[in-house]
Structure 1
Amino acid sequence: MLRGNDGKILIVVIAVVLVVACSVVGVAVISKKPHGKKSKVPDGPVSRIAMGELIVNLADTNEIRYLKTDIVLEIQGQIPAAEGGEGGEGGDSGIKTPLRDAIIGILSSKKFSDLNQPGGKDEIKKEITTAADKQLENAKVTAVYFNEFAMQ
């Protein structure tokens, strides 16, 4: 058996080994990267793209209803530059046309009652964000703003 100082030395050695082991495990856990989905969008400039005025028929079947809106998308990341042959309004990036098309598809699928209920506009903003993110490869929509929103 251990006597006197030998027992104390053994206890100190065990304590040091435990402290080192706990430190190694702690560092490994803290430095471990999360397994969640990595953002494919690097930090980049924030810009706003005005979608312009949009007028769409709503999906109501018993009445003819329409929505007139003006939407601006706030986008973080690299927006593709316009390439030749893009048609449409001059000066926009080549991404504006597919973004407008996606937004028109979402808006025209809604009924007046969907948009008029509490939280209706927020739900539309979420859907627009999701659809626009699918169109953007190196950027992400961070906000959707309505400059106008009128239904009849």
Structure 2
Amino acid sequence: MSKKNIIIIAAVGVLVLALVGGGFFMMWKKLSTIDKIKEEVTAAAAPKVEQPPSIGPLFALESFIVNLADPGGKRYLRVTMNLELRDGKVNEAITQRLPQVRDCILMVLPTRKVDDLQSIEGKNALREELITKLNQLLGAGSVTKIYFTEFVIQ
């Protein structure tokens, strides 16, 4: 083979390698652009996960057992609850005024009838009334929520 043929074959080989390399480069750029678009679409379509609201300090109360206001007085309620408080200062106030807190709750519970407490609406109404009464005693916004941990009607 002549020197001229070797130079032509080498030039064609370099040209082919340059074209193949350029083709791979263009494909790589296109695929990376497609991946970016997929990530953007996925991020936009994904539902935003909201953080659950933080829970305040809890104060656990002992069980209450009271007669209900039904005719004959043969039905009673046993309930245990936790009070969610605004902050730790309220926890101290409840500890100091625990007899008053228990009295406040004991004045509300016996006024209910079985029919009132068997529905979710009745339990929520009881919860709201207790929160209102306790906040009157401890200061507005002191008790933010009440969680019933035991609720037995017999």
Report the TM-score range of the alignment, normalised by the length of the smaller protein. 0.5 to 0.7
Q: Which amino acid aligns with 2:139?
A: E
Per-residue CA distance 1:55-109 (angstroms, 9 max, x = gap): 0000112351000010111110422747xxxxxxxxx711222111111111111
Residue equivalent to 2:130: 128
For structure 1, the 5+ residue unaligned runs are 1-44, 83-91
Distance in 2 of aligned mates of 1:150 and 1:80: 26
1:79 aligns with 2:90: yes
For structure 2, the 5+ residue unaligned runs are 1-54
Displacement of 1:114:
0.9
Task: Work out which of the two has the higher radius of gyration on C-alpha atoms and give 1 or 2.
Answer: 2
Q: Percent identity?
A: 32
Aligned pairs for 1:1-152 (under 5 A) are 46-77=56-87, 78-79=89-90, 81=92, 93-137=95-139, 140-152=142-154
After TM superposition, the runs of 4+ consecutive aligned structure 1 residues lying more than 6 A away are none
RMSD over aligned CA atoms reads 2.1
Aligned residues: 99
Q: Which amino acid aligns with 1:115?
A: L
Q: Does the 8 Å CA contact 1:48/1:73 hold for their aligned counterparts?
A: yes
Distance in 1 of aligned mates of 2:73 and 2:139: 39
Q: Structure 2 length normalisation: TM-score?
A: 0.58
Greater shift after overlay, 135-144 or 47-56?
Answer: 135-144
Displacement of 1:47:
1.8
Q: Structure 1 length normalisation: TM-score?
A: 0.58
Q: Does the 8 Å CA contact 1:80/1:95 hold for their aligned counterparts?
A: no
**Partner-residue secondary structure (3-state), 2:142:** strand
Q: Does the 8 Å CA contact 1:51/1:96 hold for their aligned counterparts?
A: no
Displacement of 1:138:
6.9
